């Protein structure tokens, strides 16, 4: 009787351990699958970016010209390909881990199967040895009373169920082994596919580097023309910056004038009430700092809250010139200093407001297209190089509202975009890439 109880408990323990193993295996498999899906999603996004760069290069090359923007787009394409290669390597590393885990699982499951079979064999042998002395009916009828007979009857039932569960567990383990072998084969096939994609991507990177060198060589042959273009672009940007500064200073002066008038009106009221401690208007003018209205402060807070999450000013495109000082893409010894970023986009691409605000300025720079300034409290967004404009001064615009289309500059469709923050003294250009959502 005691031996039977020990066998029964041992069988239950084996089943419980097997159940725990399957649970842990299931959880680890789910986590690995989630990681692979995330890597696949990233890979799809990078492939979309590469497709866009290839499209923009093809459109630009249709003009029978090699341009600095083509070189910038090609550099971006190389960056995306390097990202894709890293992604593939991470996925291969993940799959290698899966293969190792699955091989280990198969090994453990085979060991578990051997133990289950061995335990079941011992149970059968024990039952066979005791078949005469522990005959079920005799064992029950030999009871001293009804309660003991009932307990013995339940015990024989339970023992039979344990044996059935043991058989089911053996069959289930066999199924798990078969499933793991299938999954292992699938993982190996996926690894082979990724290894092929990796080699192909390496070839693409090598090809892009050769193409980049060809374009760079072509551009260097036209250095004189490029320097002239650079000078014109620099002159246009200086005109834009000067116009922005002029607009900002006019707004600051107007705000100060209104603040001064308000203070003078208050001073007159105090004088009329017998208050003689009023400062002279000239002194008031010197120290006046325009105070922001509540709605301006609220709009500022909303704008700043969206830093790093503002939409792009074009539906799709590539940044071909970045903010601040940096070497020219193809001209040695030339440094570019930009107050914003350039987006090379599709033909006749829409220009979109990156945040709700009010159109406060529209002006043209000869040879560089139309320009729109949208004010968001003390922040301003500048859209330069528009072919046509769909808004008027004073219009309120919503986020992602179309305000115009991109101008063709003779080589590409390029939008120049800037963000400015205005204080009581002047304006300061911000790096748009810190404000716009990453793509």
Q: What is the pLDDT of residues 292-311, one digit of tens each?
A: 666 677 778 889 999 999 99
Note whether 113 and 177 are within 8 A (CB): yes
Are both 233 and 295 inside the same structural domain?
A: yes
Are both 315 and 277 inside the same structural domain?
A: yes
Q: What is the CATH number of the domain that holds 344?
A: 2.70.70.10
DSSP string, 152-180: HHHHHHHHHHHHHHHHHHHHHHHHHHHHH
Q: What is the CATH number of the domain that holds 80?
A: 1.20.1270
pLDDT at 439 over 70: yes
Q: What is the pLDDT of residues 65-92, one digit of tens each?
A: 656 677 777 788 888 888 888 888 888 8
Are both 312 and 339 inside the same structural domain?
A: yes
Are both 112 and 73 inside the same structural domain?
A: yes
Share of the chain above pLDDT 90, in %: 18
DSSP 436: B
Among 163, 190, 221, the domain boundary falls at: 221
Are both 328 and 266 inside the same structural domain?
A: yes
Are both 241 and 146 inside the same structural domain?
A: no
Among 173, 193, 221, the domain boundary falls at: 221
Are both 400 and 330 inside the same structural domain?
A: yes
Are both 209 and 84 inside the same structural domain?
A: yes
Residue range(s) defining the domain that contains residue 81: 2-221
Give the containing element (helix H, strand E) for 422. Answer: strand 413-422
pLDDT at 416 over 80: yes
Q: What is the pLDDT of residues 93-138, one digit of tens each?
A: 887 877 777 777 777 767 776 776 776 666 666 655 555 444 555 5
pLDDT band at 397 (very low <50, low <70, confident <90, very high): very high
The number of beta carbons lying within 10 Å of the beta carbon of residue 218 is 15
Are both 199 and 245 inside the same structural domain?
A: no
Tell me what pLDDT residue 313 has.
96
Are both 333 and 360 inside the same structural domain?
A: yes
E-only strand ranges, 204-323: 317-321
Closest C-alpha among 275, 322, 298 to residue 379: 298
Q: What is the pLDDT of residues 323-366, one digit of tens each?
A: 988 776 666 667 778 889 999 888 889 999 999 999 999 998 88
Q: Count structural domains, the chain.
A: 2
Are both 206 and 231 inside the same structural domain?
A: no
CA dihedral 290, 295, 298, 302 (to 10 degrees): -110
Among 187, 221, 255, the domain boundary falls at: 221
Q: Distance (Å, rounded) from C-alpha 59 to C-alpha 387?
A: 18
Tell me what pLDDT residue 285 has.
42
Note whether 18 and 119 are within 8 A (CB): no
What SS3 class is residue 365?
coil
**Phi, then psi, of 366 in degrees rounded to 5:** -50, 125
Are both 166 and 266 inside the same structural domain?
A: no
């Amino acid at each position: 009787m005691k031996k039977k109880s020990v066998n029964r408990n041992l069988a239950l323990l084996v089943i419980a351990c097997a159940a725990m193993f399957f649970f842990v295996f299931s959880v680890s498999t789910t986590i690995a699958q989630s990681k692979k899906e995330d890597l696949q999603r990233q890979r799809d996004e990078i492939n979309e970016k590469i497709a866009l760069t290839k499209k923009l290069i093809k459109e630009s090359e249709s003009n029978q010209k090699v341009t600095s923007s083509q070189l910038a787009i090609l550099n971006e394409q190389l960056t995306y390909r390097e990202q894709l290669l890293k992604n593939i390597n991470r996925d291969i590393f993940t799959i290698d881990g899966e293969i190792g885990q699955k091989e280990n699982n198969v090994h453990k499951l085979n060991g578990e199967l051997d133990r289950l079979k061995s335990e079941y064999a011992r149970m059968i042998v024990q039952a066979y040895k005791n078949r005469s002395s522990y005959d079920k009916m005799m064992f029950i009828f030999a009871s001293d009373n009804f309660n003991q007979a009932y307990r013995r009857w339940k015990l024989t039932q339970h023992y039979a169920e344990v044996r059935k569960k043991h058989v089911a567990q053996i069959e289930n383990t066999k199924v798990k082994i078969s499933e793991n072998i299938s999954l292992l084969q699938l993982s190996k096939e996926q690894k082979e596919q990724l290894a092929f994609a990796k080699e192909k991507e390496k070839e693409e990177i090598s090809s892009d580097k050769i193409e980049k060198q060809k374009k760079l060589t072509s551009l260097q042959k036209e250095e004189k023309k490029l320097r002239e273009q650079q000078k014109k672009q620099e002159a246009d940007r200086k005109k834009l910056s000067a116009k922005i500064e002029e607009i900002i200073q006019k707004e600051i002066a107007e705000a100060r004038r209104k603040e001064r008038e308000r203070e003078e009106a208050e001073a007159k009221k105090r004088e009329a009430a017998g208050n003689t401690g009023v400062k002279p208007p000239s002194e008031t003018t010197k120290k006046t700092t325009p105070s922001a209205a509540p709605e301006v402060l609220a709009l500022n807070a909303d704008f700043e809250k969206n830093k790093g999450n503002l939409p792009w000013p074009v539906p799709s495109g590539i940044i071909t010139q970045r903010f601040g000082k940096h070497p020219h893409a193809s001209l040695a010894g030339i440094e570019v200093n930009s107050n914003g970023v350039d987006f090379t986009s599709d033909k006749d691409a829409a220009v979109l407001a990156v945040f709700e605000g009010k159109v406060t300025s529209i002006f043209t720079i000869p040879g560089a297209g139309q320009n729109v300034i949208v004010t968001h409290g003390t922040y301003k967004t500048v859209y330069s190089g528009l072919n046509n404009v769909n808004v008027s001064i004073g219009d309120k615009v919503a986020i992602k509202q179309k305000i115009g289309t991109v101008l063709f500059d003779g080589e590409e469709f390029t939008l120049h975009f800037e963000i400015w923050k205005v204080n009581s003294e002047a304006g300061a250009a911000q790096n748009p890439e810190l404000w716009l959502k990453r793509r």
